[in-house]
Amino acid sequence: MTRLDGIRFGSGALRAALAVIVVGTAALAPAVGAATLPTRQGSGALAIEILRITPSVPTPTATLTVSGVIRNAGPTRLGRVEVRLEVGTSPLTLRSQLTPVEAGVLPTQTQAVDGGLAVLEGGIDPDDFTPFRLSVPVSALGLPTTEAGRGVYELDLTASAPDGSVPDRTVITFLPWLPDPAAIAPTRLAWLWPLADRPVRDSAGIFSNDRLAESLAVGGRLRTLVDAAAGRPVTWVVDPNLLEAAEQMSDGYQVRARGGGTKAGTGRTAATDWLDRLRTAIDNREVVNLPYADVDVTALNRNGLADDIQTAISHGAEVARSVLGRDTVVDTAWPPGDLTDRATMTTIREAGQHAIILADTALPPVVDPSYTPDGRGRLTTGAGPLEPLLIDTELSNVLRSGSGRRPGVGPLMIQRFLAETELITLQRPNAPRSLVVAAPRYWSVDPQTATQLLQTATTTPWLTSVPLSAVRAVEPPELPRVVAEYPDSARAAELPADYLAGVRRSRTELLRFTEILAGPGPTAQAYTAARLRTESGSWRRADGRPGVTAAGRSFARRIDNNLEALRSQVSIVGGGTVTLSSHSGTIPVTVRNDLPQPVSIEVYAESTREDRLQVEQPEPVVVPAGGVAPVSVRAEAVANGLVEVRVRLRNDSGQAISDWQSIRVQVTNYGTLGSVIIAGATVLLFLSATVRIVRRGLAGRRRRSTRPASGPAESVEAERVEV
């Protein structure tokens, strides 16, 4: 019987017409990601959730069991419901067939399975569900036991109401079939199992929130990942910032409280237990170290912060070694988004990295082969060779499709993963290849799904799990590859330039400030680590659109505020008005240091009116921890009046580390130049008055000598001389 999205079709012209769709869909299928599959069963009153399929890889003598629930999503009660099991009549042999078949757009032949019918008689109320369970011998599926019959078979589960009151609904999944496992050479699979999370600690070690405690506790995201992979042959990929945060939590920590202040965090026990479980789970397995805080290396390189890449690598290695008590692989890069540009590849190589994990789309074959090649390639950068380790993007997309804890997605993801890997192996059954599969970086997955996935993969006959170093040791095949252009979508997803410009300013301010510290080590390390946390790739938007998350911007503001608070602990005390009562003197300035360590500081002063008051720069001063130090600024008056003198603190390089502070200086003495001017003016006035007095005296004598003897006496009024 032919099926299309749960609808049955007979043979004839319609089937022939659909064959055209098959060809076109199969050709386009490789470009369709499993994470973006359309709804498999459509919408309507009936919905099917498959909760478990055992065994995931059947053997001829096994019993196949499918269990799950039927939900009534409609407004009225459903009566009797039947659940039917059907299987494909011929195997699928191409990876490109899986996506369109699973989506229900590629028609295939299926047949009913004897005994594959479950009847639910009790009825289902609206918004309610009823469990079902189907068990049939694998022999009833009619699967061929010859080599020609091996491959992947479509497995359909259809729910229907016999009275026809609602449309049928079908879920399509896959059943891998390999009756002769001894005849094939298994594919080597390197699992990348990342442990990373968004930063939550500011530069003072205060947690923004207590969500990490939930993630580390039983049932939490990070606890699930550790428990699922414990004892499994995976390659752990760890963010040292997460390890450091968990270690701090295990010693007790503070969380910022609403309305201000802090409160004790609740995750001390969970963090201690998680770290113990992680160390045990890792055992002697390979551990790849991400740069500290999983910084967005491509964005940093593009925005003038390339030095921070090296800092994140070296600091991350130290933290991981300290927390885990063992060495980790520190020469392998894994850029956020699995892609990067050529310039960043060169920077990564210059930073001492010798290998890079990339999506296989970053280094595609020149000619598309008819099989899935090894996850290895060759790459040359401006700084030397870099070993590319290529993630199979289709397999990673399959894992992403199982993200979340929605019922039913886990078993379907596992069956799709097994189908993909079997077809990869059967492409060249006697020529084993080495592949890389990466779980999503911040994977949230149901605990049972994660555990069953790894358990099944490590016992599947066509797969063998190996560490990443085993893939790295494989000689790259003679398959020409080309470096693909860095896509616009990947660039748009990076941390944006305006955001990183603020981070760059913070770095400049920090470098200026730490120069004044007598022992800058602890303070510089704390704030450098905090700055790296603002550069984390986790602040990218999850939807791939341009910009940074609101949480990222809020976190960066918190770090900036902390730095400003740190700077304010070294300050100039007071200001006000100072009176300068002679032609020269000193302007007193007091520097306070509230830090727990001494600082070497310079007070820089400038007069806003040098025509009235000139100042000299004082010598640098050492201010003790928690103390004050007086600084005298020598000044020389030129003229009387009120003059503003501005002072600020600088480091030894002459860079400002504080804002200007104003001191008003009242000059009440003329000063040397003023005295000269006044003395000169006094002499001139004195000479002028003397001349006038002499002239008047001579004029008086002449008048007396010419007046009559009997004339009346003249009354002479002395003139005032104004000086």
CATH at 313: 3.20.110.20
pLDDT for 688: 53
Element (H, E) at 272: helix 268-282
Q: How confident is the model at residue 426 (pLDDT cuts 50, 70, 90)?
A: very high
pLDDT at 18 over 70: no
Helix/strand/coil for 39: coil
Predicted pLDDT of residue 686: 40
Last residue in a domain, options 669, 684, 710: 669
CA atoms within 13 A on the CB side of 349: 17
Helix, coil or strand: residue 660: coil
Residues 379, 513 within the same domain: no
Structure-token pair, residue 394: 């289709």
User: What CATH number is attached to the domain comprising 630?
Assistant: 2.60.40.10
pLDDT tens digits along 345-359: 999 999 999 999 999
Could you read off the pLDDT of 624-682 as tens digits, one per residue? 999 999 999 999 998 888 999 999 999 999 999 999 999 999 988 644 444 444 444 43
Mean pLDDT, rounded, for 554-562: 94
**Does residue 716 form part of some domain?**
no
Q: Is residue 308 part of a domain?
A: yes
Report CA Rg, the chain.
41
Q: What is the mean pLDDT of residues 692-703?
A: 52
- 323 and 402 in a single domain? The answer is yes
CB of 539 within 8 A of CB of 559? no
**Is the pLDDT confidence value at 546 over 90?**
no
User: Could you tell me what percent of the chain has a pLDDT over 90?
Assistant: 75
pLDDT tier, 582 (very low <50, low <70, confident <90, very high otherwise): confident
Residue 689 lies in a domain: yes
Q: Based on the domain organization, do 690 and 579 belong to the same domain?
A: no
Question: Does residue 517 sit within a domain?
Answer: yes
Whether 258 is in a domain gets the answer no
Q: Tens digits of per-residue pLDDT, 33-83?
A: 333 333 345 456 889 999 999 999 999 999 999 999 999 988 999 999 999
> Is 81 part of any domain?
yes
What is the average per-residue pLDDT within 323-335? Answer: 96
Is there a domain that residue 261 lies in? no
Same-domain pairing of 324 and 459? yes
Number of H helices, E strands in the chain: 18, 30
Share of the chain above pLDDT 70, in %: 86
How many other β-carbons are positioned within 10 Å of the β-carbon of residue 681?
A: 11
Residue whose pair of structure tokens reads 């990218």 in the numeric block: 540
Question: Nearest Cα to 376, choosing from 440, 422, 433, 441?
Answer: 433
Domain boundaries, position 329: 187-200+213-250+267-407+428-485
Tell me: do 530 and 479 sit in the same domain. no
Contacts of 684 (CB under 8 A, 6+ apart): none
Amino acid 106: pLDDT: 87
More confidently predicted of 228 and 42: 228
Q: Which of 653, 669, 685 is the last residue of a domain?
A: 669
How confident is the model at residue 714, as a pLDDT? 34
pLDDT of 45 reads 83
Per the domain annotation, does 255 fall within a domain?
Answer: no
Mean pLDDT of the chain: 87
Q: Are residues 231 and 303 in the same domain?
A: yes
What is the pLDDT at residue 110? 94
Cis peptide bond upstream of 30, omega within 30: no
pLDDT in the model for residue 542: 84
Range name among 3-7, 126-130, 495-499 with the lowest pLDDT average: 3-7
Residue that finishes a domain, picked among 537, 566, 595: 566
- Domain shared by 466 and 592, yes or no: no
Please give the residue that has the higher pLDDT: either 614 or 8. Answer: 614
| Predicted local distance difference test score (pLDDT) of residue 693 | 45
In CATH, what number is assigned to the domain containing residue 9?
2.70.50.60
Residues 163 and 293 in one domain: no
Q: What angle do CA 274, 275, 279 make, to 5 degrees?
A: 120
Tell me the C-alpha distance between 8 and 26, whole Å. Answer: 21
Q: Residues 338, 455: one domain?
A: yes
* Number of domains forming the structure of the chain: 5
154-192 pLDDT tens trace = 999 999 998 888 899 999 999 999 999 988 999 999 999
Closest CA to 274 of 286, 282, 262, 264: 282
Question: 600 and 680: one domain?
Answer: no
Are 103 and 13 in the same domain? yes
Question: Over the stretch 698-714, which tens digit does the pLDDT of each residue have?
Answer: 554 554 444 443 333 33
Q: What is the pLDDT, as a whole number, of residue 578?
A: 87
Cα–Cα–Cα angle for 171, 173, 176, rounded to 5 degrees: 160
Residues 137, 38, single domain; the answer is yes
**CA-to-CA separations, 274 to 192, 278, 284, 362, 538, in angstroms, rounded:** 19, 6, 17, 35, 21
Q: What is the DSSP letter of 360?
A: G
Asked if residue 208 lies in contact with residue 202, where contact means CB atoms within 8 angstroms, the answer is yes
Per-residue pLDDT at 357: 98
Mean pLDDT (whole number) for 563-584: 88
